[in-house]
A and B are shown apart, each in its own frame.
Chain A
Amino acid sequence: MSTTVEMVRRPSSGAEQAPPSGALGRLRWAVVDGWVMTGRNMRHVIRSPEEIVLYFSLPIMFVLVFGYVFGSGMAVPGDGSYREFLLPGVFVMTMLYGLGATASQIAVDTGRGVVDRFRSLPMARSALLTGRAGADLLRALLELTVLVVCGLLVGWRWRNGVGDALAAVGLILLLRLAFTWLGILLGLLVPNPDTVSVIVFPFAFPLTALSNVFVAPELLPDWLGAIAAWNPLSATVAAARELFGNPGTGGESWAAQHALLLAVGWPVLLIAVLAPLAVRRYQRLSR
C-alpha cells in the first residue's frame, strides 16, 4: 500500500454542495440520490446474470403452463381465446411475484454494514428505499417487455391501439409500485433475506388464485366471485383486459364495471398506507 497521500488535489469536504435547507432543495436531493441508488441496484441486476435468467424464466413458464396445459380446460365468458384472456393476468401476477425479490433485497441492504455507510453520508435518507422502488420498476418494465413478446408469439394481441395499450402497461406498473412498497415494508419487518423470500409465496399464491387472473369471477360460486372481483389484482387485470381489448371483461358486479377506477384507486390507496409505514420502520434503524 502506498503511504504517500497527495494533499493538493484532494477535494475537501467543502467541494461537495452544502446540504440543502429549503423544501425544494431537499426534494431535488431526494430525487437525485434516489436515481443514483436506482443505478446502483440496476448494476446489481447486471452483475448477477443468473438472477436475470431466473426472473424471466418464471413469467415465461406461467404463459406456457397456464396457456397450454391448463388453458385447454378453461372457459372464457363470451367468446374468445383463453390465452388472450390469460395474458393480462400473467402480466399482473408477475408484478405480484416481484415483491419477494424486493423484500429480500431490502433485507440484504439493511442487514449489512453498507447501510451504515449510506446512513452516514450526506445523502437523502429516503434514497435507499426510493432507489429500490425505482430499480424494481425498471426491472418490472423489462419483465413486461419479455412477457409482451412472449404473448405476441402465442397469439395475444392488443386491439385498441397503442395509446390504450400503454395506459394498460402504466396501470400494471402502478400496481407493481404498490407491491414494491409492500415488499420494502416486509423486508424491513423480517430482516432475514432467506425467510422473507419464503414467506411471500404463501401470501401471494392465494391472492392470485382468488382473483380473475385464471378464471372469470362470474364463473365462481357467488361468495368467491365477490372476493375475486374486489381483489386489487382483479381490478388491474380487468382494466388491462379492457384497455388491451382482450376477452373476459364486463360482469355484473360494481367492481367489475368500475375496473379502471379501482385499478387506479387500489394501488394509490396501498401506496398511501404502505409507503409511510415503510419509511417509519426504516427510521427505526436509528433506535
Chain B
Amino acid sequence: MTDETSAVVARGLRKTYGRTTALDGFDLTVPRGTVCGLLGPNGAGKTTALRVLTTLLRFDAGHARVAGHDVTRRPERVRAAIGLTGQYAAVDETLSGRQNLVLFGRLRHLPARMVRQRSDELLDQFGLTDVAGRSAATYSGGMRRRLDLAASLITTPEVLFLDEPTTGLDPRSRNGLWDAIRTLVTGGTTVLLTTQYLEEADQLADRISVVDAGRVVAEGTPAELKTRFGADRIELVVRHAGQLPAAAGLVERVTGGQVHVDRETRRLSAPVADRITALADLLRALQDASIAVEDVVLRRPTLDEAFLNITGHGASERTEVAA
C-alpha cells in the first residue's frame, strides 16, 4: 500500500506546547477501508494526533495527508472528506436533535431537501426519532453520543475519526455504537479511532498502533501484537502442596522462564515459547517424577499483557499530561 492510496498518512509529526512535547515523530499509515485503533495511555498524544489530522490543530514539523489531501495545504478538502466524533459529544446543546443534524447538513452545503430527508433517516437509524424535537441538553450520555455520531454521517465520510467514542457509556450503548461503526466499515469508510479500552481496540480494529510519548511504538493486528509482545503461559495446579518445590523445578527446566508460585492455590505458572512442545515435555517430566496435577492450562496472552510489555505501564495508569 503506497502513501498515495492510503486514507491517512502521517510522517514525522511534531507538536509541542511550551515545554510539553505532545507529538514526537508521529508516523502512521492507514489503508483505505480499514479500522485503525490508536491505543495508548492518557497524555500519549492520541488526541493531539487526531486534532492534527482533522485540521483542528497546526503542527510544528512533518507532513500529513488525509483522503489524499495535504492537511496543511488543502484543509478545506480534508474537511469535506472526513467526519469527526469527539471525546466530548460535539453537538449544539440548545438545539434539538433534528435541528442539530439539519444545521450540520446545511453547513456541508447539501441541498435543503436532502438535508431534511437525511436527518430523518439518521434519527431513525440511531433510535432518536422519539426525542428528535427535544433539546440535546436533555439527552442521556448514550443518546448524545449517538447524535454526535449521526452528525458525522450526514454525508458518508471517506475517513471517520472517532476520539474515544465510547468513554463513559454503559455496555449496552457501547455495543450499539460498535455495531454502527462496523456497519459503516462494510460500506467502505476508513475509521481511525483512539481508545483507552483494549477490548474496544481488540473488537473493532483491523490494526492497532500503540502510542506512547508522542509516537507510535508498536503496530500490527491485535493477534500479531499479542504474539509478539505477550507470551503464552502454562499454568498447572499440583495436588499435594509438598510437591510444589519439585514441580517448580521441573517447570523451570522445561520452559526456561521464571516460574510464579502461588502456595495458597498450589498453582504454578510460567511463560512458554513453543506452547505445544512445552506442554508435552512438561506432562512427561511430571509423570516421570510422579507429581500429581489437578489441572493444566495453556493461556493465550491478552492485549493487556502485550500493552504492558510495550509501554512498560498499564493502559490507564498514567496521569494526564496534555490533551
Contacts and interface: CB of A to CB of B under 8 A. Distances in A.
A122 interface: yes
A15 B155 contact: yes
B57 A47 contact: no
A11 interface: yes
A120 B55 CA distance: 7
Given A1-B146, A286-B56, A118 B80 contact: no
A5 B57 contact: no
Interface in A4-55: 4-7, 9-13, 15-19, 29, 32-33, 36-37, 40, 43-44, 47-48
A161 interface: no
**Which of A33, A48, A286 has the most chain B CB atoms inside 10 A of its CB?**
A286
B298 interface: no
A117 B155 contact: no
A43 B84 CA distance: 24
Interface in B101-127: 103-104, 106-110, 114, 118, 121, 124-127
A40 B103 contact: yes
A47 B94 contact: yes
A1 B176 contact: yes
Contacts of B93: 112, 114
A120 B81 contact: no
A61 interface: no
Interface in B180-195: 180, 183-184, 187
A3 B79 contact: no
Contact of B57 (A12, A19, A40, A286): A286
B58 interface: yes
B183 A3 contact: yes
B61 to A, nearest CB: 15
B56 A119 contact: yes
A43 B136 CA distance: 13
Given A5-B180, A10-B156, A117-B91, A16 B121 contact: no
Contact of B80 (A5, A7, A19, A44): A19
Interface in B77-101: 77, 79-82, 84, 86-95, 99
Contacts of B158: 13
Given A36-B107, A117-B104, A47 B95 contact: yes
Nearest to B77: A19
B281 interface: no
A8 B127 CA distance: 20
Given A1-B127, A19-B77, A120-B56, A13 B90 contact: no
A11 B58 contact: no
B114 A15 contact: yes
Interface string A237-256: 00000000000000000000
A194 interface: no
B135 A47 contact: yes
A123 interface: yes
B4 interface: no
Contacts of B76: 19, 122
Interface of B: 51, 54-58, 76-77, 79-82, 84, 86-95, 99, 103-104, 106-110, 114, 118, 121, 124-127, 135, 146, 151, 154-158, 176-177, 179-180, 183-184, 187
8 contacts: A5-B180, A11-B114, A13-B155, A114-B92, A116-B56, A116-B90, A117-B104, A286-B57
Closest 6 A-B residue pairs measured CB to CB? Answer: A117-B90, A113-B90, A122-B80, A19-B76, A113-B88, A1-B176
